[in-house]
A and B are shown apart, each in its own frame.
Chain A
Amino acid sequence: MKLTLKIWRQENAKTKGKLVTYKLSDLSSDMSFLEMLDVLNEQLAVKGEPAVEFDHDCREGICGQCSLVINGQAHGPESHYTTCQTHLRSFKDGDTLIIEPFRANSFPVIRDLKVDRSSMDKIIQAGGYISSFTGMAPEANAIPIHHDIAESAFDSAACIGCGACVATCKNSSAALFVSAKVAHLAKLPQGKIERSERVLWMVNAHDEEGFGSCTNTGACAMVCPQEVQLLDIARMNYEYNRAKCISK
């Protein structure tokens, strides 16, 4: 199949970027989107032009490294997918695709389609953990947890921190990302001990890193590859209010 790619090229965060058009032919519809970019980069290398830089790692939807906004949709046209799992069969032969980086003030462009998402790491560092002594792994059944609660906590823990929620949100809010971690740990007995401090620290870090307020449009949950639910945002808000009003 043939595709026309209009790709955002930008030297670094301080320079202005622009769309550059590339035409690719002889593509297989079974190729993944990132393989298609590999093909483009091989052709650019032969011509002696700089490669299009983009983030990727596991290429199986686990690591959350791949980003990209394809025709205005974070991670491409399929719902709840990562870019690496998006295949060319999702597009039509002859399509023109506009490929942009994730855009948010907290995600400065490093180069081309690569953005710096370390602001999300700082939120996790602020409270996305439990404090415990290191040593031998404890007996798994020492603390009984109801199956439903374990499942629900796991649904929240599934967040891979890709940042698609931020990229899609009109306010560049990371509420879904923060809430997934807050909800995950607040549901489990191990996380309950620090639940009040955690939510305050993480919401504070979220604001310090320059993310916006959640206005509950729900766009984030529609693109989340791990299907983290909006209910987690409600849970985070509950935890925040509980921490502010009830806790010491």
Chain B
Amino acid sequence: MAIKKGLFKTSVGRKNLMAVTGLFIIFFLIIHLVGNLILIIPNSFFPIEFWGGVANTHDMYNAYSHFLVHFWPVTLVAWVLYVAIITHIIDATLITINNWRSRGDKYIVTDNSTSTWYSRNMGILGTIIGVFLVIHMAQFWLQYKVLKVEHDLYELVIVTLKTWWFVLIYEIGIIALGFHLVHGIESAHRSLGIYPKKLMNVIKYVALCFSLVMAILYAIIPIIIYFK
């Protein structure tokens, strides 16, 4: 029997690729959150002018986004991120198709009490996040970074998030992300084999707490802006 050579070609290998790309995207999510949090800093936080004339949240956020777009190492990491996201999606699709093929006829009765609903539906959660991502990137990334038609990103964000159904779309996307993360972080560690017995519960609870904190912080930002 010939052994498949590639590290990522087997059922275990494909899951490795999911884990590596997933963990990289999580790293980006942290950075993205830090940027988002600038949006809700009150203007009173800037008592005096500093950082070259940054006097309020508006200036601070625009200075931050300008820095991200024009600092080349960030652009480089951004490209790695695009590759990671696309790989994560393609790999997930391949795994899902293969898993569908592996299944036999459907059971007439299925008992789902042995696993959590979000661990069984990572594909659906991922699809919701994917749809959200397309809307999100069309609104900001495309306008600001690619087409360069909008120069005041702060204004664009605030105007967009004053529409209630946009806020709703964001909340749905973030809830899906939260559940995707809870299972994804633990699953990634297990897939990579970095899951020692002594740290098993630590990984589990860190995944839960991290996902909860991420989801709550991401979720409150559009709500605060909407009611501001």
**Chain B binder among A27-35, A40-48, A137-145, A201-209:** A201-209
* CB interface residues, B 122-171, toward A, < 8 Å: 122
By a CB distance below 8 angstroms, the chain A residues around B103 are: 103-105, 170-172, 212
By a CB distance below 8 angstroms, the chain A residues around B10 are: 203-204, 207, 240
Q: How would residues 207 to 248 of chain A score, 1 for a CB under 8 Å from any chain B CB and 0 otherwise?
A: 110111111111100110000001101111111111011000
Expressed in whole angstroms, the Cα–Cα distance for A164 and B107 within the complex equals 14
Contact of A172 among B102, B190, B193 (CB under 8 A): B102
Whether the pair A173, B114 counts as a contact (CB closer than 8 A) is no
Q: Output the least CB separation between A177 and chain B (Å).
A: 13
Expressed in whole angstroms, the Cα–Cα distance for A28 and B98 within the complex equals 44
Chain A interface size, as a band, is 35 or more
Expressed in whole angstroms, the Cα–Cα distance for A126 and B190 within the complex equals 24
Expressed in whole angstroms, the Cα–Cα distance for A72 and B4 within the complex equals 35
Contact of B108 among A100, A213, A214, A223 (CB under 8 A): A100
A85 is an interface residue with CB less than 8 A from chain B: no
Q: Output the least CB separation between B195 and chain A (Å).
A: 4
Give the most central of B3, B104, B192: most A CB within 10 Å: B104
**Chain A binder among B12-20, B29-37, B173-181:** B12-20
Closest residue of A by beta carbon distance from B188: A216
Contacts A71-B109, A204-B1 given; does A173 touch B11 at CB 8 Å? yes
Whether the pair B3, A223 counts as a contact (CB closer than 8 A) is no
A24 is an interface residue with CB less than 8 A from chain B: no
A106 is an interface residue with CB less than 8 A from chain B: yes
Interface size on B, residues (CB 8 A): 43
Expressed in whole angstroms, the Cα–Cα distance for A242 and B111 within the complex equals 36
By a CB distance below 8 angstroms, the chain B residues around A73 are: 111, 114
Whether the pair B104, A104 counts as a contact (CB closer than 8 A) is yes
Whether the pair A213, B95 counts as a contact (CB closer than 8 A) is yes
B99 is an interface residue with CB less than 8 A from chain A: yes
Whether the pair A100, B107 counts as a contact (CB closer than 8 A) is yes
By a CB distance below 8 angstroms, the chain A residues around B200 are: 231
Closest residue of A by beta carbon distance from B16: A241
Expressed in whole angstroms, the Cα–Cα distance for A216 and B119 within the complex equals 7
Q: Output the least CB separation between B4 and chain A (Å).
A: 6
Q: How would residues 60 to 72 of chain A score, 1 for a CB under 8 Å from any chain B CB and 0 otherwise?
A: 0000000001011
Whether the pair B194, A212 counts as a contact (CB closer than 8 A) is no
* CB interface residues, B 84-112, toward A, < 8 Å: 95, 98-99, 101-111
A1 is an interface residue with CB less than 8 A from chain B: no
Q: Output the least CB separation between B140 and chain A (Å).
A: 32
Expressed in whole angstroms, the Cα–Cα distance for A244 and B195 within the complex equals 18
Q: How would residues 208 to 224 of chain B score, 1 for a CB under 8 Å from any chain A CB and 0 otherwise?
A: 00000000000000000
Whether the pair A107, B104 counts as a contact (CB closer than 8 A) is yes
Expressed in whole angstroms, the Cα–Cα distance for A212 and B15 within the complex equals 11
Q: Output the least CB separation between B58 and chain A (Å).
A: 44
* A-B CB proximity, top 9 nearest: A238-B193, A212-B102, A72-B111, A234-B195, A171-B99, A237-B193, A222-B114, A72-B109, A212-B99
A-B contact pairs, 17 of them (CB 8 A): A72-B107, A98-B108, A103-B106, A104-B104, A172-B103, A172-B104, A203-B10, A204-B4, A206-B11, A213-B12, A215-B99, A215-B187, A216-B186, A236-B12, A238-B192, A238-B193, A244-B7
Binding site for A on B (CB under 8 A): 1, 3-4, 7, 10-16, 95, 98-99, 101-111, 114-116, 119-120, 122, 183, 186-187, 189-195, 197, 200
Extra A-B contacts (13), CB below 8 Å, given A214-B15, A231-B195, A244-B13 = A8-B108, A105-B103, A107-B104, A172-B99, A201-B1, A207-B4, A207-B10, A212-B102, A213-B14, A216-B186, A222-B115, A234-B195, A237-B16
